[in-house]
Chain A
Amino acid sequence: MRWSTTLTWLALPYLYPNNYINLANAQGNGPPSGSKAQSGQPASSEGGPPPRELKDVATELLLLRPLKDGKVATHFEFEYLTRNGVPRDPSTLGSEDEDQHYEFFPLSMGQILREYAVAELHLTLNTGRWRYDTWGSPENPAVASGAELWVWMADGGPVSVEERWKGLTNALAGLFCASLSSLSGSRTTSPLHSFYPEGQLPLYFETTEPENNTTSRSGYTLHHAVLPSEAICTENLTPFIKLLPCKSYAGVAELLNPHKLFGGWWYGMGVHATWHDGETDSIDGGTEVPIDPSKLGMGSKARAGKYTEGAHNDPKAKPPPPQAQVIKQARGVKLKLTVGAVRDPVEGYRGQTAETSQWTLENLFGKNVTKLCPVTSKADVRVLLPSKEHKGPVGTDAKAAVPSLLLSPLPVAKYHPHAGSSKGDQSWDVVRNKKAKVANSLTPLTLTRSLRGYDQTRGGFSIAISNHLGSDVDAWYVESVPWIIRPYLSTLHVESVEPLPSPSTSNNGGAQQAFTSPNNASTVLDLKKLRYVPPSESKGEDSRTKPTLLEIPLRIPARSVVRVSLEFEKVFLRYTEHPPDAQRGWEIPGGVLVPTSVVPAVQGEGTRRLSRVYTAPLLADLATPDFSMPYNVIILSGALVALLFGMLFNMLVRRYVLVKS
């Protein structure tokens, strides 16, 4: 096998020795939960019929990926499914909710989702900048710096969507100890074209809407908000761990050590709640759903009781990629909790010199997995093996192309280097011994955005989007700018379209067509489809709280860089509108590029959607006053008033007479 020649891998007393598996199975007969008995039976398509109807399914996964620069990307994923659960119909919000039963699905999250009738929710808290160029595509595309929350909610109940959105942000702020409360007013936008639901949205009522789905997805509205300055630390991880059925006492969650995670180069956590209708299949664990380009952006016709994005209804568009594990997506509400960190395994390793890139779970996390969480039906630890050459076409995801090593006995692949290892020792570890070259895993699209100008009244964005693929890509570039910046739409233009320098590792030299001609710019940016939502038409208070939303449709030619520029004006702030640390500047949330094109899937069959790409946030320097100025004004005017009053008083009261000597 390829990996064994390039690397030496050692799995010390490997995961879950046989006696322990038996133990877990034996425990399954115990009363506390029905799905323990399922621990040996992953929900796989060819698995035998389950012994009985399960309500909840809990799975966990730890993904380790060595990166080009010697760091290791770690990704924890905990999934909980309430079988046959359906998001609450907002029209029932006025009345008592029907009883819910959760086995492993976290109750507090379930209550929040029901209380505000949320169909789909994505909350991420990240710190740092994800370096697409060196680290490749992230395991989960939601890597926006700071806090990002986007939610699909259906309208049509006694409680308005705005009220529910406000309540939801507050509830999540309370649950995760984050300052999300400030999201609801000044940061919320509703993009129409770019973001699409990752699950499905239930249809509560027959829609007789006309075909223009551009205004709403059958009664659903998307609320999207980003708070780039939000930090994440132990106080956010603590409530997160409390949502897990075994807390951090068992399973891969044992490795959730804040002292190590938060020392990483990038770290974050996410909460993703989606609903799936059981009729459709989907690829496990991926957000790259098969999609049919012809149906993008529409699709109200063939909807039988559910809203589904694109090719879910199209049987020929979804042949399962052989590499990816295909499972029958069970019907129900799925909650995916993720924690990710990019750690440098060298730093802080006990007395090791820096030239070795050896790492173990112990030095990555400072802890080890000692127990299996008994309620999880599937617990995987996967190490993505680095390879010298990049397989597959350039631009495809490294994680899908590269073989991975599954370090757990479930479901099929077992890794048994020392089959007869010590029985008593139930902990295990992975050690990477040799320094290995990791191929540059290119992301299909890269995106940079920078701030122009040193002025305190004007400035501009310059956005460069590179397409490394051999085919054109259609995408939406979404910019939601806070109210302190007012973009001039008239200045939006494509500056240049240049071909990418041909990569040395290119295996596809045929795609070197030139796209240099400037008249190409008109096909790159289609202004007719552009969507621009100014904060408010009037000059009222709304224009000083609501953000501006820009959805820019772009067609990025194959193997080229598109440079777009946009100029803006900086608002002059009132004295009280400045934050306490005004000199630091205002953070502008990162822009998002959401591709709508599809590319061939890794193994050549089927298609997949490209995942979205974020830019780093920027710090805008606004004119800040001298904050002691009011006191100076008070003192000066006070002195002036005293002077005038004294003179007047003297003139009125005092009588000037000659004193006779």
Chain B
Amino acid sequence: MVFHFLRRLILFTLFYSFVAAQTQDQVNAASKFLQKDGVQGHTNNWAVLVCSSRYWFNYRHMANTLGMYRTVKRLGIPDSNIIVMLADDVSCNARNKFPATVYSNNRRSIDLYGENIEVDYRGYEVTVENFLRLLTGRVDPSLPRSKRLLTDEKSNIFVYMTGHGGDEFLKFQDNEEISAFDIADAFEQMWQKKRYHEIFFMIDTCQANTMYSKFYSPNILATGSSKLGESSYSHDHDSDVGVAVIDRFTHLVLSHLEGINKTSQATMQQLFDAYNFDHLRSTAGVRTDLFQRDPSKVLLTDFFGGVAQAEVVQSDDVDDARDFARLASSAKPSVVADSQSGKQQKVSTTWMEMGSDRLGELGRNSYGLSRVWASVGLIFGTYAVTRFLF
């Protein structure tokens, strides 16, 4: 009787493993279908640019933020996808000798304020609460669209913060602080709510690297201007404006970005390699352990630009596509880089990804099939053995 039960049990277990192997394959296929183009793809870019300092003497923090604003806008992120938080109005400040302008260098060559700018949160609205609400999307229903971060699981978000900070905190308007834990938890909530695909976090403040040390959510690449115990310094001083006009770290990043355009193939690693202690007078840091891709393979335009991956599959000739994909994947990226327009590059890279995915899928399919047959064999084998034994 006992043996009979045991036999039943073994049979049941084996049968279950057979079913499980099959359903696992279905789940794989389904998730593959839903995910469409693997890890790489983001379909939209967002930027959250925060200046948390008030008062005229913090002009440089406003200039930092507006410099980033100008750059991401130049690289293709539209105003609707940029959330700018400025804690004070320096451009139309009565102390500003040059009305409606903000300059980031003492030659006053580039007016960062320009004639076309949209600031979404300003003055007293720049608070820790509003910032965290913006990130997590827990906002009042009547809040206008321009003040919301309407991201999804395919959004790459560039988060830039600047202000006065310290060990694991950043001051907002000299009145309240946001801690490293707050931002880390907000990012985790965003991840759980599928509000981002990848985040690039950049912060320019004293002891900035402590601000990203508490992150624990996946797909976050982070960089900061100075390590624990170090200050971040300003770069240019304009005697007509009367105050320092930009910070060293932001100045370095902006001048690095000034050389690239929308179709650039420059990578994050190149930016990180440009960090230079002699210039910054602080140790800029990078955190890559949460990030799944290699920074040397991540384009700068993945975060600073509005360049999105596009799906270009024609459903009627999938076979042709597969062939083309094989060709493309066999041809090395040098060919891709040689092609003239950015559009073509994008197309070919998409093929490449798709090709590799499809091959992988095929491989997985045959593996799954063998697992099914193996479990069938096991069932019959065990049945025979138990029959023989008992």
Which residues does A use to contact B, with CB under 8 Å?
A: 127, 166-167, 170-171, 173-175, 177, 179, 181-182, 229-235, 238-239, 248, 257-263, 579-581
Contact = CB atoms under 8 A, between A and B. Distances in A.
B92 interface: yes
Given A171-B144, A238-B117, 16 more contacts: A166-B142, A170-B143, A173-B147, A177-B119, A177-B146, A230-B123, A234-B113, A235-B117, A257-B115, A259-B98, A259-B115, A262-B91, A262-B92, A580-B173, A581-B54, A581-B55
A179 B123 contact: yes
10 contacts: A166-B142, A174-B143, A174-B147, A177-B120, A179-B122, A231-B123, A234-B114, A238-B116, A259-B100, A262-B99
Interface in B146-177: 146-147, 172-175
Contacts of B92: 127, 231-234, 262
Most chain A CB within a 10 A radius of its CB, from B92, B122, B124: B92
Contacts of B140: 170
Contacts of B100: 233-234, 258-259, 261-263
A259 B99 contact: yes
Contacts of B113: 233-234, 258
Contacts of B143: 170, 174, 181
Contacts of A262: 91-92, 99-100
Contacts of B107: none
A170 B142 CA distance: 6
Task: State which size class the interface on B falls in.
Answer: 20 to 34
Contacts of A257: 115
Interface string B327-363: 0000000000000000000000000000000000000
B125 interface: yes
Contacts of A230: 123
Contact of B54 (A182, A238, A580): A580
Nearest to A260: B99
A175 B119 CA distance: 11
Given A170-B144, A171-B144, A231-B123, A258 B89 contact: no
B118 A235 contact: yes
Nearest to A178: B122
B147 A259 contact: no
B144 A263 contact: no
B115 to A, nearest CB: 6
Contacts of B124: 179, 182, 579-580
B130 to A, nearest CB: 10
Given A179-B122, A179-B125, A232-B92, A174 B99 contact: no
Interface string B52-92: 00110000000000000000000000000000000101011
A580 B91 contact: no
B189 interface: no
Contacts of A248: 115
A257 B125 CA distance: 27
Nearest to B115: A258
Given A234-B91, A257-B115, A173 B99 contact: no
Contacts of B175: 580
Contacts of B119: 177, 235
Interface of B is mostly: loop
B105 interface: no
B279 interface: no
Contacts of B138: none
In order of increasing CB-CB distance, the 5 nearest A-B pairs are A174-B144, A263-B99, A233-B92, A580-B173, A580-B175
Contacts of A173: 144, 147
Nearest to A230: B123
Nearest to A261: B100
B51 to A, nearest CB: 13
A171 B145 CA distance: 9
B365 interface: no
A239 B118 contact: yes
A263 B100 CA distance: 8
B382 interface: no
A173 B118 CA distance: 12
Contacts of A171: 142, 144
A175 B118 contact: no
B265 interface: no
Nearest to A127: B92
A455 to B, nearest CB: 26
A477 to B, nearest CB: 29
Contacts of B173: 580-581
A175 B144 contact: yes
Contacts of A174: 143-147
Contacts of B54: 580-581
B101 interface: yes
A167 B145 CA distance: 12
A325 B144 CA distance: 40
Contact of B174 (A181, A233, A580): A580
Nearest to A173: B144
Contact of A233 (B89, B120, B172): B89
Nearest to A256: B115
B142 A167 contact: yes
A181 to B, nearest CB: 7
Nearest to B141: A167
A234 B142 contact: no
A661 B77 CA distance: 84
B90 to A, nearest CB: 9
Contacts of A234: 91-92, 100, 113-115, 117
A239 B117 CA distance: 9
A238 B146 CA distance: 14
Nearest to B175: A580
A233 B125 CA distance: 16
Contacts of A179: 122-125
Contacts of A263: 99-100
A579 B99 CA distance: 26
A151 to B, nearest CB: 15
Contacts of A260: 99
Nearest to B89: A231
A547 to B, nearest CB: 17
Most chain B CB within a 10 A radius of its CB, from A127, A175, A177, A579: A177
Contacts of B118: 177, 235, 238-239
B302 to A, nearest CB: 28
A259 B117 CA distance: 13
Nearest to A579: B124
Nearest to A627: B175
Nearest to A167: B142
Contacts of A167: 142
A173 B98 CA distance: 26
Contacts of A235: 117-119, 122
B131 to A, nearest CB: 14
Contacts of B147: 173-174
Most chain A CB within a 10 A radius of its CB, from B54, B113, B114, B123: B123
Contacts of B116: 238
A127 B99 CA distance: 13
Contacts of A259: 98-101, 115
A229 B54 CA distance: 15
A261 B101 CA distance: 12
A415 B174 CA distance: 58
A392 to B, nearest CB: 36
Nearest to B55: A581
A179 B175 CA distance: 19
Nearest to A578: B175
Interface in B35-64: 54-55
Contacts of B115: 234, 238, 248, 257-259
A289 B66 CA distance: 45
A310 B145 CA distance: 41
A262 B119 CA distance: 17
A230 B54 CA distance: 15
A259 B144 CA distance: 28
Contacts of A229: 123
Interface in B1-60: 54-55
Interface string B262-275: 00000000000000
